[in-house]
Structure 1
Amino acid sequence: MAVKVRIPTPLQKLTNNQSEVQCEAKDIDQMLANLEKKHPGIKERICDNEGKLRRFVNIYVNEEDIRFLKGQETALKDGDDISIIPAIAGGASQDAPKVRRGSSGGREALIKKRVTLVFPPDQIKKPAVFTMAKKFDIMPNIRQARVTETIGEMMLELEGTEENLKKGVKYLESIGIKVEPVTGDSAS
């Protein structure tokens, strides 16, 4: 089964700067093994020594988080769209603001904002953060998370343009997720 795998920017140096690669695989485990054959070193960045996904690496199949499917045994079918989303702890230097080229060709400053999300039960299994990040060009960095079948809380550092961050927060609130800014000692 040929599937499309979206490669996150930090791993693209291993795929010859390709943001998407094609892969033959019947499930996520086989996809990871085949990615490693074609792009040596990629699996060790995604998985631990036992071959299990690292704690803060999320994989989505057609926008569905595999943690809520069958994990690495999730079956794949021809044409599936796979996204690998690392949430890398830590941060960049604050010396100079990062910039992103805007749609009008100008440069827009990137800012970081820390927020705590509280998910209502009906949103826990939905890919809300992934959808927000994809829709509004925001890079989420999961700092802490506690997600069960009934409780969903997450502290995120969001990086994007000020306008996109506002739109992303508004989107999360519109689907019932409570968004609270993180201030004080817990912001660092």
Structure 2
Amino acid sequence: MAVKVRIPTPLQKLTANQSEVTVEALTIDELLTGLERQHPGIKERLCDEAGKLRRFVNIYVNEEDIRFLQGQETKLKAGDDISIIPAIAGGAAVVKKQVTLVFPQEQIKEPAVFTMAKRFDIMPNIRKARVTETVGEMTLELEGTEDNLKKGIAFLESRGIKVEPVTGESAR
């Protein structure tokens, strides 16, 4: 079955500058193989020599990180929204920053972190989270350019999410 895949800007030179491509695949593994067949060289940017996703590459299916699904064995179906979000390399220096987010109740079920990551080329890594119907707290390590991190944090704050830097011992 054919699925559409959003290609991040740094990889679009491998897809003839296409920001979205269609691939025949039933799983993420098949998607990666199909991408390589259609766009030689792209898989080595996404996977290591053993064919496993590189640690700095995130793939989302319908706004869910495949690391929290079935990884590369995650099954795909028609209409799935697939996004590849790698860490930024080259150009501006990549920095890491740990922050704690406190979500207002109306934002708990919204994909604010996913939207921030996608919109501002930021790679979030969840360090700790506590989410219920009434409480949303999350500690993230954010990786991206300093400018993109500032924009991403401003985006979260504009949605009423409290963002506090993690410092000292609590950053471990």
**Pair 1:113–1:73, CA change in 2 (3 A):** closer
Distance in 2 of aligned mates of 1:27 and 1:117? 33
Contact conserved, 1:114 with 1:181, CA < 8 A, in 2? no
Contact conserved, 2:62 with 2:81, CA < 8 A, in 1? yes
Structure-2 residue corresponding to 1:156 = 143
Structure-2 residue corresponding to 1:116 = 98
Structure-2 residue corresponding to 1:29 = 29
Return the match for 1:147 from 117, 127, 131. 127
TM-fit CA distance, 1:139: 2.5
Which secondary structure does the structure 1 equivalent of 2:156 belong to? helix
Distance in 2 of aligned mates of 1:90 and 1:141? 15
Structure-2 residue corresponding to 1:109 = none
**Pair 1:161–1:141, CA change in 2 (3 A):** closer
Distance in 2 of aligned mates of 1:72 and 1:138? 25
Distance in 2 of aligned mates of 1:32 and 1:55? 15
Residues 139-185 of structure 1, C-alpha deviation per residue, up to 9 Å, x if partnerless?
Answer: 2156xx463676743143353497x556413157x34x633288xxx
Which secondary structure does the structure 2 equivalent of 1:29 belong to? helix
What does residue range 83-98 of structure 1 map to in structure 2 within 5 Å? 83-88=83-88, 92=92
**Pair 1:152–1:22, CA change in 2 (3 A):** same
Could you say what the CA RMSD is over the residues aligned between the two structures, in angstroms?
3.7
TM-fit CA distance, 1:71: 0.6
Structure 1 residues without counterparts, runs of 5 or longer? 94-111, 183-188
Structure-2 residue corresponding to 1:69 = 69
**TM-score, with structure 2 as normaliser:** 0.72
Structure-1 residue corresponding to 2:155 = 168
Distance in 1 of aligned mates of 2:66 and 2:95? 27
Return the match for 1:180 from 143, 165, 169. 165
Distance in 2 of aligned mates of 1:62 and 1:139? 18
Please identify, of 52-61 and 82-91, the stretch whose mean Cα deviation from structure 2 is larger. 82-91
TM-fit CA distance, 1:10: 0.8
Distance in 2 of aligned mates of 1:44 and 1:92? 23
Structure 2 residues without counterparts, runs of 5 or longer? 131-137, 168-172
Identical-pair percentage: 56
Distance in 2 of aligned mates of 1:180 and 1:149? 15
Distance in 1 of aligned mates of 2:43 and 2:67? 18
Distance in 2 of aligned mates of 1:55 and 1:90? 17
